[in-house]
């Protein structure tokens, strides 16, 4: 016989069992201990709403056992009790509750200050619903996208009717329900009606049904997130119908959370669906006509109905032979670890009735967590969620209407409130009593939103399904006029969502590869993300890569650079407005480094502007900014209505940087074109043919050595790469990766936009004023820089030198004595200079700032540093002009 492993023993399971029903059949009555007071909790709603039945299943905490199908071999355990959930000494918290007043964690252990860390450690251990397994595991949850015309949340009568109506009109429909559809409903006319609708929906080719799938939230788009078995569904519908039904009203009286106290539908479900009686003798509170069906269902399961408490309108319909108290109320439930008796207040006075089960049906509260998240008009509610307690026929009509309703008129459903709660536990998820609400009210928290935040009522796993109406009723009873009792804001997730489900699909990122990707892998490169690109961070020997550039020759795949051809009659005018450098004076065959500024004067990208001919330019941008730079250029070309063509060649062209003192010798072996310093000087460019491949060669200086950036047709990239490496073998050629590049450029004091710059970095703050021609009449950001020029910058990016072989951490904090004065953005050990070199932001307060600082790295490591001038390496920049 199939069985689950429950805390080390085997519990048999029957067909159709939930985890909860299997445990209940086996005699387990206490499924959890409450969050704060460790009160015993057993089955209550049996509809996936309350937190009473939460257990740990296969290592995952906070699983609602009543809606989780039992499966052979499942490991199930309860949490947060000591020594056991049956005999939990931590329940002493309840008897000492006078010492744990509302908001106690703000007050009780706050002084002396050393108390709090100790208290926090204890509270973390005893509170909650089980520890989270924090061991990393690969994503087992897939993300799946759906694009239906209509999304229906909830597979009851209203939801199915809505789905069928929409499908009948030819629309595609996706319907999700958190359980197996219809199986939560006890046998009876409602169940039969749902079964009939379900059969039609299943047969309809336009309807897709997802069962065991929790709709957790609505987002802009609209986007609906639903968590299914091993799949996170991202649903992008045109319209949404919310038909999530209603939950029976939570009754508040002393002892209302004892095991043995059930919501009527919950007891009926356990009896009717699983054939398990809620107890030996049961008292039924029949405030709804549906409760009369429950009486029948419960009787069939073998319990004795001791008493029915019903209003005058319903009392005559109670089956004969059952004692009835007309117009009575339950005022108390008594018992220790489970229910022993209830106290009824009737017209004739108090009666104590001994029983071990109480089924309470007082009315219905909409399960409207999703509906209240909706603020857009394409979302309709249907059935119980808008008309709690409606008949099946009404629900079907409502569902059909919701499928038809036009897309205007945003819906807002603000249900009324009933009587204020009596004594007892209002919020069972967070253990908030009526008395605690009163205390919070007296402390001045006199609004639903404030009471919610201070007491945490409605903030637990059920997200206020049980207690939101009581919270509002409590406020309205004390502040009848005015807005204090307004509903609190509903936010996603409406149902629990695991971190794994929330992260589903995060690993499905699109990976951009250069044409040389496989060559890097073959050489054993460690690949790293750079925006959407995968780039080699390093090959086998970073130090050898470094020395190859500084002393020999090396190649780097820079095919990821943003590359654009900008031409047309207004090309010069266009680029001159775009860049703060002077573009008009760039002669054909020459290039200039430029920053890109936004209208606020802040740097967002940088690159080269190279003149190919008159009004014909080759422009580069950073790898990660390539797309944004294109969008930026197109936006302005259009705004100014200039005659200019912009062709994005980022992926059409490959690029290889050939760098190092021997790079010219290497090129000369592969080309007949002149590459000498007069024909192709630093800052120059020229079309040359290398190894038979047409290239644009740019003399660049980012790494601080003689270097040639070869832009070539992407299709010839592998050929060029192989030719360079083969021809340079005797020169000790080897490729270098991003790690080496970052060190090489840092030795030259060159910034990396985004690493060394912030969102509000102006050229002046990083010492690049020389790249801004304020004497030009116009460029983007000019007027902002003019305005900012009246205020000297309060901080500057400065070069720093650190003694020793161990450079401070990137991100290390800079101290001047006791004063915090900045932080490092780049920091490396320089093998050539045999010291640490860094760039960092330093508070200058309009002046020059301190010269000697201490960098504090992780673990309180301290390094003495000195503000110097850049470049660190080859300060006259002779080598790169070589």
Which chain residues interact with other proteins by CB under 8 A? 147, 220-222, 236-239, 375-378, 407, 410, 577, 599-600, 627, 630-631, 634-635, 638-640, 648, 777-778, 783-784, 786-787
Structure tokens that stand for 482 in this block? 């005015």
Smallest distance, other proteins to C-beta of residue 782, A: 8
Q: Which residues, 6+ apart, have CB-to-CB distance to 695 below 8 Å?
A: 687, 688, 689, 710, 711, 712, 720
Cα-based angle 16, 20, 21 (whole degrees, multiple of 5): 45
Please list the alpha-helical segments (H only) found in 1-156. Answer: 19-25, 92-95, 104-107, 115-126
In whole angstroms, give the CA distance from residue 501 to residue 598. 38
Spatial separation of the C-alpha atoms in residues 190 and 188, rounded to whole Å: 6
Instruction: Name the residue nearer to other proteins (CB basis): 131 or 221.
Output: 221
In sequence order, which residues have a C-beta less than 8 Å from that of residue 697 and are 6 or more positions away? 667, 675, 680, 685, 686, 687, 688, 690, 708, 709, 710, 711
E-assigned strands of 207-273? Answer: 207-210, 214-219, 223-227, 231-235, 239-242, 246-248, 261-263
Output DSSP code: residue 766. G
Smallest separation, CB 549 to other proteins (Å): 35
Nearer to other proteins, 172 or 844 (CB): 172
Shortest CB 148 distance to other proteins, Å: 10
> Least distance from C-beta 759 to other proteins, angstroms?
13
Q: How far is the CB of 639 from other proteins (least distance, A)?
A: 7
Residues 6+ apart with CB under 8 A from 28: 6, 11
Q: Give residue for tokens 């059969």.
A: 199
Contact 360, 251 (CB under 8 A): yes
Alpha carbons 879 and 671: distance in angstroms, whole number = 23
Q: Max CA-CA distance within the chain?
A: 113
Question: Smallest gap, in angstroms, from Cβ of residue 510 to other proteins?
Answer: 11
Minimum Å gap between C-beta 633 and other proteins is 11
C-beta closer to other proteins: residue 340 or 773: 773
Tokens 């117009």 label which residue? 327
Of 234 and 872, nearer to other proteins (C-beta) is 234
- Nearer to other proteins by Cβ, of 237 and 704: the residue is 237
Beta carbon nearer to other proteins, 351 or 651: 651
With 0-12 / 13-18 / 19 or more C-beta atoms within 10 angstroms meaning exposed / middle / buried, residue 881 is: middle
37 dihedral zone (left: phi>0; alpha: psi -120 to 50; beta): alpha
Q: How far is the CB of 595 from other proteins (least distance, A)?
A: 18
Provide the minimum distance between the beta carbon of 786 and other proteins in the complex, in angstroms, as a whole number.
8
For residue 376, cis peptide bond before it (omega within 30 degrees of 0): no
Comparing CB distances to other proteins, the nearer of 257 and 605 is 605
Comparing CB distances to other proteins, the nearer of 648 and 707 is 648
- Minimum separation from the CB atom of position 384 to other proteins (A): 26
Residue closer to other proteins by CB (options 376, 652) is 376
Task: Provide the 3-class DSSP secondary structure of residue 612.
Answer: strand
- Closer CB to other proteins, residue 156 or residue 601? 601
- Which H or E run contains 6? strand 3-6
Rounded to a whole number of angstroms, the minimum distance from the CB of residue 171 to other proteins is 13
**In the complex, minimum distance from the CB of residue 211 to other proteins, in angstroms, rounded to a whole number:** 25
Considering the complex, state which of residue 472 and residue 577 has its C-beta at the smaller distance from other proteins. Answer: 577
Closest CB to other proteins among 232 and 807? 232
Which residues on neighbouring strands pair with residue 684, listed in sequence order? 590
- The span from the CA of 673 to the CA of 684, in Å, is 14
């Amino acid at each position: 016989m199939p069985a689950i492993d429950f805390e080390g023993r085997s519990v048999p399971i029957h067909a159709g069992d939930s985890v909860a029903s299997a445990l209940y059949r086996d005699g387990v009555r206490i499924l959890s201990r409450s969050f704060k007071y460790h009160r015993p909790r057993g089955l209550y709603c049996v509809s996936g709403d309350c937190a009473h039945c939460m257990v740990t299943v296969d290592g995952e905490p906070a699983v609602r056992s009543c809606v989780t199908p039992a499966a052979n071999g499942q490991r199930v355990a309860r949490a947060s009790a000591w020594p056991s959930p049956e005999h939990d000494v931590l329940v002493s918290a309840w008897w000492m509750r006078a010492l744990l007043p509302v908001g106690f964690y703000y007050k009780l252990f706050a002084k002396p200050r050393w108390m709090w860390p100790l208290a926090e450690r204890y509270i973390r251990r005893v509170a909650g619903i089980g520890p989270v397994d924090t061991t990393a595991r690969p994503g087992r949850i897939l993300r799946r996208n759906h694009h239906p015309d209509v999304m229906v949340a909830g597979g009851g009568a209203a939801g199915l009717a809505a789905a069928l109506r929409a499908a009948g009109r030819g629309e595609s429909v996706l319907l999700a329900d958190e359980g197996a559809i219809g199986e939560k409903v006890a046998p009876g006319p409602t169940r039969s009606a749902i079964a009939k609708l379900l059969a039609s929906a299943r047969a309809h080719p336009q309807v897709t049904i997802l069962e065991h799938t929790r709709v957790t939230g609505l987002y802009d788009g609209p986007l609906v997130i639903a968590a299914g078995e091993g799949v996170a569904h991202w649903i992008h519908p045109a319209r949404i119908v919310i038909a999530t039904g209603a939950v029976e009203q939570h009754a508040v009286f002393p002892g209302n959370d004892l095991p043995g106290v059930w919501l009527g539908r919950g007891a009926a479900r356990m009896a009717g669906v699983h054939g398990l009686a809620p107890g030996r003798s049961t008292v039924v509170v029949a405030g709804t006509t549906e409760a009369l069906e429950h009486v029948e269902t419960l009787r069939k399961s073998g319990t004795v109905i001791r008493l029915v408490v019903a209003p005058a309108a319903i009392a005559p319909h109670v089956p004969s032979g059952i004692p009835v108290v007309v117009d009575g109320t339950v005022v108390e439930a008594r018992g220790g670890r489970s229910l022993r008796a209830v106290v009824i207040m009737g017209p004739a006075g108090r009666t104590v009735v001994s029983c071990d089960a109480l089924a309470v049906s007082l009315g219905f509260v909409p399960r409207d967590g999703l509906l209240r998240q909706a603020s857009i008009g394409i979302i309709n509610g249907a059935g119980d969620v808008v008309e709690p307690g409606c008949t099946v026929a009404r629900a079907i009509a409502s569902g059909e209407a919701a499928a038809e309703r036009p897309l205007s008129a945003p819906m807002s459903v603000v249900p009324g409130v009933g009587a204020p709660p009596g004594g007892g536990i209002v919020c069972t998820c967070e253990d908030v009593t009526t008395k605690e609400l009163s205390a919070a009210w007296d402390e001045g928290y006199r609004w639903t939103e404030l009471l919610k935040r201070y007491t945490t009522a409605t903030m637990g796993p059920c997200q206020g399904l049980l207690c939101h109406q009581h919270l509002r009723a409590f406020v309205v009873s004390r502040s009848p006029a005015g807005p204090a009792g307004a509903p609190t804001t509903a936010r996603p997730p409406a149902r629990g969502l695991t971190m794994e489900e929330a992260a589903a699909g995060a690993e499905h990122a699109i990976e951009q590869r250069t044409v040389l990707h496989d060559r890097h892998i073959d050489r054993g490169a460690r690949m790293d993300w750079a925006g959407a690109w995968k780039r080699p961070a390093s090959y086998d020997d970073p130090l050898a890569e470094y020395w190859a550039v500084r002393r020999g020759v090396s190649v780097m795949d820079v095919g990821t650079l943003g590359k654009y051809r900008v031409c047309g009659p207004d090309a010069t005018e266009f680029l001159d407005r775009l860049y703060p450098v002077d573009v008009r004076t760039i002669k054909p065959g020459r290039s200039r480094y430029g920053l890109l500024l936004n209208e606020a004067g802040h740097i967002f990208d940088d690159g080269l502007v190279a003149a190919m001919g008159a009004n014909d330019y080759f422009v580069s941008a950073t790898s990660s900014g390539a797309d944004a730079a294109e969008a930026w250029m197109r936006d302005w070309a259009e705004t100014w209505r200039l005659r200019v063509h912009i062709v994005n060649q980022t992926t059409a062209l490959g690029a290889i940087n050939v760098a190092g003192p021997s790079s010219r010798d290497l090129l000369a072996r592969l080309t007949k074109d002149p590459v000498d310093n007069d024909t192709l000087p630093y800052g120059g460019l020229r079309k040359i043919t290398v190894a038979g491949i047409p290239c644009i060669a740019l003399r660049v200086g980012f790494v601080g050595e003689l270097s040639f950036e070869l832009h070539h047709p992407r299709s010839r990239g592998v050929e060029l790469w192989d030719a360079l490496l083969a021809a340079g073998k005797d020169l000790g050629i080897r490729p270098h990766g991003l790690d080496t590049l970052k060190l090489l450029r840092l030795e030259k004091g060159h910034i990396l936009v985004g690493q060394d710059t912030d969102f509000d970095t102006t050229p002046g703050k990083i010492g690049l004023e020389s790249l801004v021609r304020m004497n030009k009449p116009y460029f983007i950001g000019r007027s902002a820089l003019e305005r900012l020029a009246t205020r000297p910058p309060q901080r500057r990016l400065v070069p720093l030198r650190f003694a020793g072989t161990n450079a401070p951490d990137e991100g290390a904090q800079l101290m001047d004595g006791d004063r915090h004065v900045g932080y490092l953005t780049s920091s490396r050990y320089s093998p050539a200079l045999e010291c640490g070199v860094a760039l960092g932001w330093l508070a200058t307060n309009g002046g020059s700032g301190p010269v000697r600082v201490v960098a504090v790295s992780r673990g309180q490591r301290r390094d003495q540093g000195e503000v110097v001038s850049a470049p660190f390496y080859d300060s006259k920049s002779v080598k790169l002009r070589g």
